[in-house]
Amino acid sequence: MNPEVFVFNSKLDGDFLRSIYEDDKEHAEMVFEKFLKTIRVQMNEIEESYTGGDTEIFRRQIHKLKPVLSFVGLTGLTNKAAIIEDKCKEAAATNYLKDLYIGFKNELTEMIPVIEDDLIKLKA
Amino acid sequence: MKLTSIIVDDEPISRSFLERYCEKIGSVTVAGSFPDSETALQFLQKNEIDVLFLDVEMPGDSGFQLLDKLVVMPKVILTTSKTEYAYDAFQYNVTDYLKKPFSYVRFQESVSKAFESLDDKKDAVKVDKKEDVFIKSDGKLTRLNYEDILYIESVGDYVKYCTPDKKYITHSTLKAVEEKMNNQQFMKVHRSFIVNLRKISNIQEYTLLIGSSLIPISKLLKTEVMGRLNLAV
């Protein structure tokens, strides 16, 4: 995956993606595909744990997703996940993290089509 | 030379990421990929590996809890998205700490570290290539393979070589045995005992278990014993 040949969507962290995939386009394609296959299920699980109210269960779900977001270039969302994870330790219940979580969830939802587009380009 | 490794991480994409990196680097074979500590432990009880790529936070036992259960420690490369485990990592004497997500270059550095630390160990082993010993017992000289010796116990003016099948008593001292069997595999753990480190099943406080024998560990030697097994005290 020569960076001169493949250019990731500018909404994704291209520098970071190049550092992890280098010239391995097939690897990037495989990870983007796996991410898209599982992300909705993971988001549902996170939503359920948020609704359940237990901050520790919610924190674990966020923690699990956190590095995966960077694997598809969503490094900003990895940082936001880290903030939510930290705040979980102080919050009495998940609804204290409502603004952070809703912002995170909306941004992630908006980015899914971007990743879908790049997967199509990676496969081309 | 290739390193044999396993990957332990509850997150499937993280596992496949490492598998791909190992394939790409070419010098690391992945013998198994496990979603939790429990299944990894089952594998490690039956198989020997060089490198353990280990996540910390997982459902069930954490990565550190898995390390607590290992008697013989491979080189450990922690793969976690948190930096707050650095102190524990130091305590467990891990080879490297990869903060997820990490680049391929960073992964290469980590594998190099594992090779370097294994080379150190290999150099130490090269000093003592001897793998058996002749002992005079019952009026004859008997060859005992190091691998068959569980432990050696001092009994007055005699020493007792214990193997799974038989005990051989010979006129000697533990000090003489220690000098004769200058081997990485053996270690004096108490004034009356030299043990085969590879035969230890478990350690509890100041006692270790080999076969069905409980062997005391001297308080003065405990740190050294744990160090030889790559375990933190």
**CA–CA gap between residue B85 and residue B81 (Å, rounded):** 10
Average pLDDT, chain B: 88
Asked if residues A63 and B57 have their Cβ atoms less than 8 Å apart, the reply is: yes
Question: In this predicted structure, what is the pLDDT of residue B46?
Answer: 86
**CA–CA gap between residue B94 and residue B96 (Å, rounded):** 6
Cβ <8 Å between A68 and B14: yes
* Whether pLDDT at B129 is above 60: no
How many percent of chain B have pLDDT more than 90?
Answer: 55
Asked if residues B111 and B27 have their Cβ atoms less than 8 Å apart, the reply is: yes
B89 versus B214: the higher-pLDDT residue is B214
Cβ <8 Å between A71 and B13: yes
CA B108 to chain centroid: 24
pTM given for the model: 0.68
Cβ <8 Å between A78 and B101: yes
**CA–CA gap between residue B179 and residue B217 (Å, rounded):** 20
Q: How far is CA A64 from CA A45, A81, A82, A117, B163, in A?
A: 11, 10, 11, 24, 47
A49 touches chain B (CB under 8 A): no
Asked if residues A1 and A28 have their Cβ atoms less than 8 Å apart, the reply is: yes
* pLDDT tens by residue, B102-128: 999 999 999 999 998 887 655 444 444
The kind and range of the H/E element at B72 are: none
Q: Which of A24, A34, A67 is facing B16, going by the closest CB pair?
A: A34
- Count of Cβ atoms closer than 10 Å to residue B117 Cβ: 17
Pairing of strands B151-155, B158-162: antiparallel
Question: In this predicted structure, what is the pLDDT of residue B125?
Answer: 42
Asked if residues B233 and B223 have their Cβ atoms less than 8 Å apart, the reply is: yes
Cβ <8 Å between A31 and B81: no
Question: In this predicted structure, what is the pLDDT of residue B180?
Answer: 76
A78 touches chain B (CB under 8 A): yes
Q: What is the mean pLDDT of residues B188-217?
A: 91
Task: With beta carbons under 8 A apart, name residues in chain A contacting B81.
Answer: 63, 66-67, 78, 82
B113 versus B130: the higher-pLDDT residue is B113
Instruction: Please list, residue by residue across B176-194, b when 16 or more beta carbons sit within 10 angstroms of its beta carbon and e when fewer do.
Output: ebeeebebebbbbbbebbb
Q: Determine the residue of chain A that is closest to B104 in CA distance.
A: A20
B60 touches chain A (CB under 8 A): no
Q: Which of A24, A64, A66 is facing B10, going by the closest CB pair?
A: A64
Q: What is the mean pLDDT of residues B225-231?
A: 79
CA atoms within 13 A on the CB side of B30: 19
Q: Determine the residue of chain B that is closest to A37 in CA distance.
A: B13
The kind and range of the H/E element at B217 are: none
Q: Which of A27, A35, A63 is facing B81, going by the closest CB pair?
A: A63
- Count of Cβ atoms closer than 10 Å to residue A67 Cβ: 25
Is the ipTM higher than 0.90? The answer is: no
Q: How far is CA B157 from CA B138, B153, B171, B186, in A?
A: 16, 11, 6, 21
Q: Which of B10, B57, B101 is facing A20, going by the closest CB pair?
A: B101
> Edge-to-edge, what's the strand order for the sheet holding B213-216?
B200-204, B207-210, B213-216
B81 touches chain A (CB under 8 A): yes
Question: In this predicted structure, what is the pLDDT of residue B225?
Answer: 85
Q: pLDDT confidence of B130, banded at 50, 70, 90?
A: low
User: Which ranges of chain A have pLDDT less than 70?
Assistant: 1-5
**CA–CA gap between residue A6 and residue A112 (Å, rounded):** 19
Task: With beta carbons under 8 A apart, name residues in chain B contacting A59.
Answer: none
Q: Which of B17, B24, B82 is facing A71, going by the closest CB pair?
A: B17
Task: With beta carbons under 8 A apart, name residues in chain B contacting A34.
Answer: 12-13, 16
* pLDDT tens by residue, B135-192: 888 888 888 988 899 999 999 889 999 999 899 999 888 888 887 776 678 899 999 9
